[in-house]
């Protein structure tokens, strides 16, 4: 049976009080409405952003509903809470995928991140559990990452996931990593670029952008090469709430949609 457990479906970890910094490739994807990374596996909200959970002194909570490539049995629900403290930023969350009568995947995790001057580092631990009528299995997935600013508008970041090469029921889960940059020439424009690696597949080059309109609306888009995918996201923000929608197009799998709701608390 094909395993859908993925190191990228994680509660992640690090970056920024600098409005989202380098954004990786996951469902976190622009938690505070700045640049989303290329064909992120999300782009709706900030589930598993490998760039970070640091939020500029504000706590965050999020809920996401994702329909994987139009398949009902791959519908995913996710939720997470991020809490900054004087000892660093903590986060916890979980996700559930599948149909209980056929196949389910459950992930729960905790994360920690800390800013050291202008730098940021963080890590997380997830427990991944898969179950079907015939079998069940579980494993632990560990990831880490960091960022460094280069001036006021440019930030570089990197992350690695499943660094211990964990296995699920004897099947190796892919090691994943990315290195990239965020450019924010203005408060309403963000541009991202990164190189993404997953297992034995060729490296993937990704580009993304977010444009904010009238401070309460935003448009996100991105492209991913090998495979040649694209994403488009739309959303609105008001008094701490962000409602966002995203569509991901894949040349072989078709389309995947996400709906996300984020709330950012006061300082």
Q: For each of the chain's 267 residues, which pLDDT tens digit applies?
A: 333 222 222 222 232 222 222 222 333 333 322 222 322 333 322 223 333 334 445 666 767 777 765 555 567 787 777 787 888 888 888 888 877 777 888 888 888 888 787 777 888 888 989 888 888 999 998 888 887 888 888 888 888 888 899 998 888 889 988 888 888 888 888 888 888 888 888 898 888 887 888 778 888 888 888 778 877 888 888 888 888 888 888 777 777 887 888 787 755
Residues 6 or more apart in contact with residue 241 via CB below 8 angstroms: 261, 262, 263
Q: What is the DSSP letter of 262?
A: E
Q: Is residue 3 part of a domain?
A: no
* pLDDT for position 25: 30
Q: How far apart are CA 176 and CA 48, in angstroms?
A: 13
* Total domain count, the chain: 1
* Of 31, 30, 27, the residue nearest 264 (C-alpha): 31
- State pTM to two decimals: 0.74
β-pairing, 154-161 vs 136-149, is antiparallel
Is 230 domain-assigned?
yes
Q: Does 163 fall in a domain?
A: yes
Report the C-alpha gap between 221 and 206 in whole angstroms.
Answer: 11
Q: Which CATH number does the domain housing residue 86 bear? A: 2.40.160.40
Q: Which whole-number Å values give the CA distances from 192 to 29, 35, 120, 128, 212, in the listed order?
A: 11, 6, 18, 29, 15
Report pLDDT for 138.
93
Residue 26 domain flag: no
| 31 domain-assigned | no
Q: 257 near 249, Cβ under 8 Å?
A: no
- State the pairing for strand pair 103-116/75-85: unpaired
Residue 23 lies inside a defined structural domain of this protein: no
Residue 117: which domain range? 60-264
């Amino acid at each position: 049976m094909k395993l859908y457990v993925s190191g990228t479906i994680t509660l992640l970890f690090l970056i920024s009080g600098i409005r989202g910094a380098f954004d990786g490739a996951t469902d976190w994807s622009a938690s505070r409405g700045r640049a989303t990374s290329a064909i992120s596996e999300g782009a709706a909200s900030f589930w598993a952003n490998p760039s970070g959970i640091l939020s500029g002194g504000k706590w965050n909570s999020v809920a996401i509903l994702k329909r994987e490539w139009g398949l009902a049995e791959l519908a995913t629900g996710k939720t997470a809470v991020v809490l900054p403290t004087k000892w660093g930023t903590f986060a916890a969350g979980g996700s559930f995928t599948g149909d209980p009568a056929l196949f389910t995947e459950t992930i729960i995790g905790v994360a920690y991140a800390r800013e050291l001057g202008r730098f940021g580092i963080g890590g997380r631990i997830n427990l991944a559990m898969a179950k079907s009528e015939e079998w069940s299995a579980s494993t632990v997935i560990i990831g880490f990452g960091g960022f460094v600013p280069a001036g006021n508008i440019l930030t570089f970041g990197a992350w690695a996931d499943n660094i211990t090469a964990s296995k699920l029921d004897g099947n190796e889960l892919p090691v994943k990593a990315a290195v990239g940059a965020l450019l924010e020439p203005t408060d309403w424009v963000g541009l991202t670029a990164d190189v993404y690696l997953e297992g034995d597949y060729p490296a993937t080059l990704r580009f993304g952008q977010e444009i904010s309109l009238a401070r309460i609306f935003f448009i996100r888009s991105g492209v991913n090469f090998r495979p040649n995918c694209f994403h488009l996201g739309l959303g609105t923000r008001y008094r701490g709430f962000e409602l966002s929608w995203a569509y991901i197009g894949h040349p072989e799998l078709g389309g995947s949609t996400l709906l996300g709701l984020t709330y950012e608390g006061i300082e």
